[in-house]
Amino acid sequence: MTRARTVAVVGAGSWGTALAMVLARNGHSTRLWGRDAAQLSRLQNEHCNATYLPGYQFPDGLSICADLSAALDSAEWVLVCVPSHGFASCLESLAALLKPEAGLVWATKGFEPDTARLLDELVVESRGHRSKRAVLSGPSFALEVAAGLPTAVTLAANTPQVAQELAEVFHDESFRVYTSEDMVGVQVGGAVKNVLAIAAGIADGLIFGANTRAALITRGLAELSRLGGAMGGQPRTFMGLAGLGDLLLTCTDDQSRNRRFGLALAQGESAMDAMAHLGQVVEGYRNSREVMILAERYDIDMPIAAQVYKVLYEDLAPRAAVQALLSRALTREDG
């Protein structure tokens, strides 16, 4: 058993709450903070997150903090679980409160809006190259993590020592953590798979069948790997939990909000209406723009991601997007 730590979790949505529960079950003093004071009051009173994780009571050791400064006080690690479009502003809030020796880990999947920078670049800009930092990603639905069902994830850190230390904080008999030094690959995998899951949802919503879904996942993995490799990620990462594993999960199970978003688009809903009905952030909607920025920047062919972008931002009909993919010129599989 690793020694008990004090951990602050920033972001009280489904994922932040589920990971806070993992940490508290592992014996760590865990403080959960979110920006919605009314929601935090409900979490405190009900001792569960009834909105996102109904039926799962908070373990001992998990406390709700309405004040960010109090949540961060003496925290050895801070876990950030906010949407990617709010990541930069979250870092700004933390900058004045977080001690230099505290470590920062994030479970956010995405890029910085408009610039398409990796979130690690924002962390380095805010806290410096020598700061302890890591990213947690992989095939993991919050509800199943809260339920204590077996889950395996990847944790990539800027040094092997940081990865090992933090893996021991998270790891238990139902939440298995594999370590990595490939922070680039893990971040790219977690972001791009959201865009591909929208494509899978569209195809399934149009009743194109299992063959189509398998083709989309396989060719989508090729797109993800090409982009990630160009950005400096390692091939084995894309074939692991943070790449293929997460892609399979989000493309095939309706717990994935990105997949459900694609299903709704296929049924004729607008992007705005579909997101409103889901009631949660759909990272793939925003990520599709950044993926196209990166594809152009690195001169990478990403036809599936490109069609998703056209559906979302150029009003291309979902069926026409699939037809455009099918009508592409013949090519080698490794092309």
**% the chain with pLDDT above 90:** 93
Q: What is the pLDDT of residue 269?
A: 96
CA distance 139 to 241: 6
Among candidate residues 109, 132, 193, 310, the one labeled active-site is 193
What is the tens place of the pLDDT at every residue in 53-97?
999 999 999 999 999 999 999 999 999 999 999 999 999 999 989
> 68 near 10, Cβ under 8 Å?
yes
Give yes or no: residues 32 and 111 share one domain.
yes
Instruction: Please report whether residue 105 resides in a domain.
Output: yes
pLDDT, averaged across the chain: 96
Beta strands in 158-267 (DSSP E): 175-180
Instruction: Please report whether residue 317 resides in a domain.
Output: yes
pLDDT band at 335 (very low <50, low <70, confident <90, very high): low
> 57 near 47, Cβ under 8 Å?
yes
Q: Is 259 exposed, middle or buried (0-12, 13-18, 19+ CB in 10 A)?
A: buried
**CATH number of 175's domain:** 3.40.50.720
132 carries an active-site annotation: no
Q: At what angle do helices 303-313 and 209-230 cross, to 10 degrees?
A: 100
Q: What is the pLDDT of residue 259?
A: 98
**CATH number of 317's domain:** 1.10.1040.10
Q: Cβ contacts of residue 320 below 8 Å, gap of 6+?
A: none
Task: State the Cα torsion 326-327-333-335 to the nearest 10°.
Answer: -130
Q: What is the pLDDT of residue 1?
A: 54
Give yes or no: residues 133 and 245 share one domain.
no
Give yes or no: residues 18 and 152 share one domain.
yes
Return the higher-pLDDT residue of 335 and 231: 231
Return the higher-pLDDT residue of 284 and 2: 284
Domain end point (choices 181, 209, 234): 181
Task: Look at 9-13, 161-165, 327-331 and tell me which has the smallest mean pLDDT.
Answer: 327-331
What is the tens place of the pLDDT at every residue in 178-201?
999 999 999 999 999 999 999 999
Q: What is the pLDDT of residue 332?
A: 77
Q: What's the rounded mean pLDDT across residues 193-220?
A: 96
Please state the separation of Cα 162 from the chain's center in Å.
Answer: 20
Q: At what angle do helices 271-278 and 257-266 cross, to 10 degrees?
A: 140
Q: Per-residue pLDDT for 226 more than 70? A: yes
What is the tens place of the pLDDT at every residue in 134-157?
999 999 999 999 999 999 999 999
Amino acid code (one letter) for 39: Q
CA distance 285 to 312: 7
CA distance 9 to 12: 8
Q: Per-residue pLDDT for 240 more than 70? A: yes
Residue-number span of the structural domain to which 284 is assigned: 191-326
What is the tens place of the pLDDT at every residue in 12-51?
999 999 999 999 999 999 999 999 999 999 999 999 999 9
CA distance 298 to 305: 14
Q: Per-residue pLDDT for 2 more than 80? A: no
Give yes or no: residues 13 and 155 share one domain.
yes
Q: What's the rounded mean pLDDT across residues 283-295?
A: 97
Q: Is 167 exposed, middle or buried (0-12, 13-18, 19+ CB in 10 A)?
A: buried
Instruction: Please report whether residue 331 resides in a domain.
Output: no
Give yes or no: residues 21 and 88 share one domain.
yes
Instruction: Please report whether residue 1 resides in a domain.
Output: no
Give yes or no: residues 15 and 163 share one domain.
yes
Q: What's the rounded mean pLDDT across residues 156-171?
A: 96
Give yes or no: residues 315 and 295 share one domain.
yes
What is the tally of structural domains in the chain? Answer: 2
pLDDT band at 233 (very low <50, low <70, confident <90, very high): very high
Q: Per-residue pLDDT for 229 more than 60? A: yes
Give yes or no: residues 60 and 108 share one domain.
yes
What is the tens place of the pLDDT at every residue in 85-102?
999 999 999 998 999 999
CA distance 163 to 134: 7
